[in-house]
Structure 1
Amino acid sequence: MQQSRTASTDAGLHTRWNVQLIGLVAVLVMVNFVVDSAIAAPLLVLPEMLDHFDTDQAAWLNATAMLAGVLWAPLLGKSADIYGKRTMLVLTLLLSCAGAIVCAVAPNIWVFVPGRMLQGASLAAVFLSVAIVRSVCAPRIAMIIVGIVTSGSAVLNIASRFLIEKLAMESGFQILFLVSAFVAAAMAICVHNVIPESPVKTPGKIDVSGALLLGGGLAGALSYLSLGSDLGWLAVGPLALLVGGVAALARWLLVSSRKPDPLIDVRDLGGPLALTLLIVFLGAGSYQSMLQLISLIGDVSADQQLGYGLADQGSVALLLAAPGFGVMLGGPGAGWLAARIGPASTLAGAVLLGTVATMGMFLGASQLPAALFFAFLLGVTVGALGTSGFNMAGSLAPAERQGIVSSLVMVMVAIGSVVLDFVGAAVLESTATVVDGDTTNSATGVFSYIAIASGAFAIAAVLAVMLMRSTRLSRNSPALDLARDAL
C-alpha cells in the first residue's frame, strides 16, 4: 500500500530538465528578485532615507518589512495549502507592488513604515516558490532547483546594485521603490500565465486572529528594543510596548494550543524540524544584521579615525554586491550537495562557514579587501543556509503541508533578522560617540555588533551538528524505519 501511494504521488513530476521546467525556473528566479528589491536593496540608500525622514531609527526603516513578514508568511503559507500556491504567489506580488508605491510617495516615516509592512508580504514569494518547485519536481532534482530558485536572482541583484546607486544619486531613493513596484506587477502577470496551479490542496480555514496576535506580539517586544535606548529602558512607553507584546505572544501560544487547526501548530513540531527552524533563526538573523552593519560602516571614512570605516576605499554598492556573488555559488552548490550528502550535512557546513565569515569582519570593518572577501563568504553562507533550510524542512513535511512548513522557515528568517537587527541597532545607539558635533557609531559599538552576530552563528553551528547527528541516527534506526512503515 505504501509503495502504491508513493508511486501515484510521484507520477507526473519532473525528473530531468526540459523546456517547460526551464521556463518555470526562470520565472521563479525573477520572482525572487522582487524579494531582494523589497528587502535588501533599500540598504543601499539607508543613509539617504535616514536623512530624508530625519530619524536615527535605522532598524525601523530596514527591518519593518522583515517584521511584517512574520505576519504575512504563515497566513500566505496556510492559504497556499488551502487555495493554491500560484494564487497566493500572485497575491503576494500584488501586495508588494502596492507597498512599494506607498513607500515611493510617503511624505513622512508614519506613511513609509506601513508601506514597508505591505512590502513585507514579498517574503512569502521565497517559500511559495520553494513549495511550487517541490510540488512539480521529484525530490532529487527539486533540491537542486530550490538552490537555483532561491539564489539565482543574485545575478540580477549584483547588476541592480550599481544601477540603483546611480539612479538614487540622480533622482532620490524613491526611484528604488518605483522600480520594485514595476517588477512586482510584471512578475504577477508572468506567474499567472506560466506557473500551473498546485494540484494538491488541503481543506481547512485561516487563523487570522492567530496571525495578528503573533505579529502584534513580536512588534511590541521588538519596538521596546528600538525605543528603549532613546526613551529609557524603564520609561512608561517602551515598557507598555514590551508588556503588551509579551501578553499577545502568551495569548497566541495559549489559543493556538487549544485550536484544532491553528495557524502554526506548535504541538506538531518534531525535534528535527524545531532544530532546523532554530538554526535558520540564528543564521539568517546574523547574516541580515551584518548586511545592515556593512551599509553603515561603508558610509564612514577611515580618515575620521574611529577605528573602522570603508567609505574612502570603495562604494557601498561594491560591498553589498560581494555577497551576491557568494549567493550565486552557495545556493545551487548547496542544492547539488544536498542531493548527494543530505540537507542536514549541507546545513551544518553552511553555518560553520558563516561563523568564520562573520568573525572575519573584525578585520573587514577597516580593510576593504578583507571586507569584500568575508562579505563574499557571507553570501555563500546565506545561499547555502536558505537552500538547505528549505530542503531540510521540506523533507520533513508531506505534500499537503509544504506551504505552511516552508512558511515556518521564512518566519524564522524574518524573526531572526528583525531581532538581531534591533539588537545590533540598540548596541550601536547605546555606544555612539560625538565627533565634530555629530553623533556617530563608535568602534566599541561596531565590534560589539560583530561579536553578537559571531556568537549567534557559533550557537547555530553547534545546533547544526546536533541536527546532522540526529538525522543520521534516525536513518540508521531499524525501529524508526518500522514505525514509519506502519504509518
Structure 2
Amino acid sequence: MTEYTAKPEPRTVPEEDSGRLTEASRGRLIGILVTLVLFTEIVPLQIAMVTMILPQIGRSFPESGSSTSWAITILGVASGATMALVGKAADLYGKKRLLLVCSGLFVLGSLTCALTASWPLFLAGRGVASVSWGMAVVNYGIIRDLFPRRWIPIAVGFIGTGLGVASIIGPVVCGLLTDSLSWRSVFWFLVIYMLVMIPVLAWVVPESEVRVRQRFDVLGALLFGGGVGVTLIYLSEGGTWGWTAMKSLGFLLGGLFLLVLFVLWERRVDEPMMELSLLRSPVVLIVMVASFFFTGVQSLIAVLTAYLFETPSASELHHEIAQGVAAKAGAPASIMERFITLDGDVGYAAGYSVLELALRISVWIAVFTMIFGPVGGYIARRIGARIPMIVAGVSVCAACALWINWHSTWQEQVSIGLLLGLGSGFFFAAWPNLVMDAVPASRQGVSTGVVQVFGGVGTSVSTALLASVLASYPLRMTIAAPGAQPVTTTVPQVYTDAGFSQAYLLLGALPCAAVIVLALVLRAGRVPARGGEPLV
C-alpha cells in the first residue's frame, strides 16, 4: 500500500506557500486564530444549547410526537452528508468564501427555527443550519494555507478543542435565556452570535490562494452525500424502528447502493470529487478508522454522563412512580408508595439539572481538553503526531476502565475526566497534523471532511449500540397491592448501575484499545510535524 500521490492537475495550481503570512506579526496571527476558533464555536454551541431545550421544543410542536429527537438527529444526518462536500468546495472556490457561505446558511436555518410554527419547517431549518458543521473542516485548510509552518501543529490543537464558548458559556447562557424568555430566544442568540462574527471574520481573516483547478463533480457529490445521509438515517433510527425491519433495511440498502454507485462513478470520471487513491493512503485510512472509534467513544461518554447524573435519585424515582400509579388507580400517592419496590442498583442517580451537570462536570472536562489540545500540537511539532495519538488512546482507554467501577459521584467523574481531557486534546491535535503531512494542500478540505464523516458515523453507531446495551439492564419495579397479584415491569429510560459499567467496558475501553493498536502500527507521525510542507 503506497502513500497518496496527487494526480497531475489539469491546470496550474498556485504554490502552497503563495499568500502564506510568514512576515505577519505574532499579534495578527493570534487574532486570525482566535477569530477562526470563535467563528466555528457555533458548531458545538448549537448542539449543546439545542440539546438542553429539546423538551421545550417538543411541547411547542405537539405534532412532532415521538420524533422530537430529530431536532438533534437531523444535524448528524445532514452534516455527515455535506461535510466532505463543503471541504471539496473550499478546495475549489476558496476557504474563506465557503466559511461565509456556511455562516449565511446557518443564519437562514436558525432564523427559520426561531420564527416557524411548523414542525417540518423547523426540521428543514435545522438541516440547513447543519451545513455549518463543514466550517470546522475548512478551518484546518485555512490554518495550513496561511500560517507559518512552525505555527500549524499547535494552531490545529486550538482548532480541534476550541476556546470553551460552547462547553463552558453555552449551557449557562442557554439556561438563563430559557428561564427568563423562551426556547426561541436560544435561536435568536445563535443568530446574533453569527451575525457579529461574520464581519469580524471578513475583516480579520484573509482568503487562501490555494485552489484546485477543476470542475465540481456534481453527480459524485450527490451520490456521496446521499449515500452517507441515508446510511446515517439507518444508524440513527434503526434501534427505534428495528434493525431488521423493512423500513430500516430500505434505508441501509439504499445508502449502500448510492455509495457503490459513487465509487463506480469516481473511477471513470476525469475530474472526480474524491480520488479513491486518497482513501487508500495508509495514513488517511488509519486516521479515518481511528476517528470512527475515538469520536464514538467521546460521544458515548457525554451521553453516559448525562444519563448518570440527570437521573432522579432512588427516592425521587420511587415518589414519581407512585404518583403515576396513584393517578391511574385513583388512590393517594402516599399509600401507593408502600406497595411499590424498585429492583436494581441506581445509587449513581444524582438528579442534577442540566445547569448543575455543566457546572460540576462538563465545564471541567472542557477545560482539560482545551489545555491539552495545544500541548498535543506542541508535542507533534517537536517529535511527531504518532505519540500524541498513542497517548490519546491509552488515556481515554484508562478513563473508561476506571469508570467501570467508579462513576457514581461528580468527584470521580471529574478526577478521572482529566484523562478524558488529555486524550481528547491530544487526539484532536494529532489527527489533523497526520492528514496535513500526508496529502497535498489541494486535497486538504475533502480529506479532512471524509475523516469527520467517519467520526460522525462512529457517533451514530456508538449511540445505537449504547441503547442496546442499556436496554439489557433496565430498572424494574414491582407493584404488590393487597389482594392483587404482584406485577413487575420496567421503568422507562432508567437503567441499573451494571448497564453503565458494561457500556464503559464494551463501548469505551475496547474501541480505545483499537485506537491504540492503530496508532502503534502507524508508520507516519514518527518525525516532527511539518505543517503540511511537502517533502523534498
TM superposition score normalised by structure 2: 0.79
8 Å Cα contact 1:148-1:332 kept in structure 2: yes
Deviation at 1:122, TM superposition (A): 2.0
Show the counterpart of 2:341: none
Deviation at 1:354, TM superposition (A): 1.6
| In structure 2, distance between residues paired with 1:57 and 1:430 | 23
- 1:396-428 CA-to-partner distances (Å, cap 9, x unmatched) read 122222222222332223222233233324544
Show the counterpart of 2:160: 150
Provide closer, same or farther for how the CA distance between residues 391 and 412 of structure 1 changes in structure 2, counting only shifts above 3 A.
same
| In structure 1, distance between residues paired with 2:158 and 2:268 | 39
Q: Aligned runs of 1:261-410 on 2, under 5 Å?
A: 261-269=271-279, 270-303=281-314, 304=317, 306-312=346-352, 315-318=356-359, 319-363=361-405, 365-410=407-452
Rg larger for: 2
- Between 1:7-16 and 1:183-192, the stretch displaced more is 7-16
Secondary structure in structure 2 of the residue aligned to 1:441: strand
Provide closer, same or farther for how the CA distance between residues 153 and 57 of structure 1 changes in structure 2, counting only shifts above 3 A.
farther
RMSD after superposition: 3.2
Deviation at 1:210, TM superposition (A): 2.7
| In structure 2, distance between residues paired with 1:222 and 1:380 | 29
| In structure 1, distance between residues paired with 2:300 and 2:71 | 13
8 Å Cα contact 2:389-2:431 kept in structure 1: yes
Show the counterpart of 1:175: 185
| In structure 2, distance between residues paired with 1:107 and 1:332 | 43
Deviation at 1:370, TM superposition (A): 1.1
Deviation at 1:145, TM superposition (A): 1.5
Counterpart pick for 1:442 among 488, 495, 506: 495
- 1:144-194 CA-to-partner distances (Å, cap 9, x unmatched) read 122223324225631332222232233343333222222122222222222
Deviation at 1:85, TM superposition (A): 0.7
| In structure 1, distance between residues paired with 2:205 and 2:290 | 31
**Structure 1 gap ranges (5+):** 476-482
Provide closer, same or farther for how the CA distance between residues 171 and 428 of structure 1 changes in structure 2, counting only shifts above 3 A.
farther
| In structure 2, distance between residues paired with 1:237 and 1:8 | 48
TM superposition score normalised by structure 1: 0.86
Between structures 1 and 2, the one with greater helix share:
1
Provide closer, same or farther for how the CA distance between residues 353 and 14 of structure 1 changes in structure 2, counting only shifts above 3 A.
farther
| In structure 2, distance between residues paired with 1:377 and 1:100 | 35
Show the counterpart of 2:456: 414
| In structure 1, distance between residues paired with 2:211 and 2:21 | 16
Counterpart pick for 2:107 among 97, 109, 114: 97
| In structure 1, distance between residues paired with 2:447 and 2:431 | 11
- 1:49-97 CA-to-partner distances (Å, cap 9, x unmatched) read 5666665668644343133222221111111111111100111111222
Aligned length: 473
Provide closer, same or farther for how the CA distance between residues 70 and 27 of structure 1 changes in structure 2, counting only shifts above 3 A.
same
Deviation at 1:321, TM superposition (A): 1.9
| In structure 2, distance between residues paired with 1:471 and 1:317 | 35
Provide closer, same or farther for how the CA distance between residues 257 and 220 of structure 1 changes in structure 2, counting only shifts above 3 A.
same
- The amino acid across from 2:464 in the alignment is F
Secondary structure in structure 1 of the residue aligned to 2:212: coil
Secondary structure in structure 2 of the residue aligned to 1:272: helix
Provide closer, same or farther for how the CA distance between residues 27 and 430 of structure 1 changes in structure 2, counting only shifts above 3 A.
same
Secondary structure in structure 1 of the residue aligned to 2:210: coil
8 Å Cα contact 2:404-2:502 kept in structure 1: no
- The amino acid across from 2:377 in the alignment is G
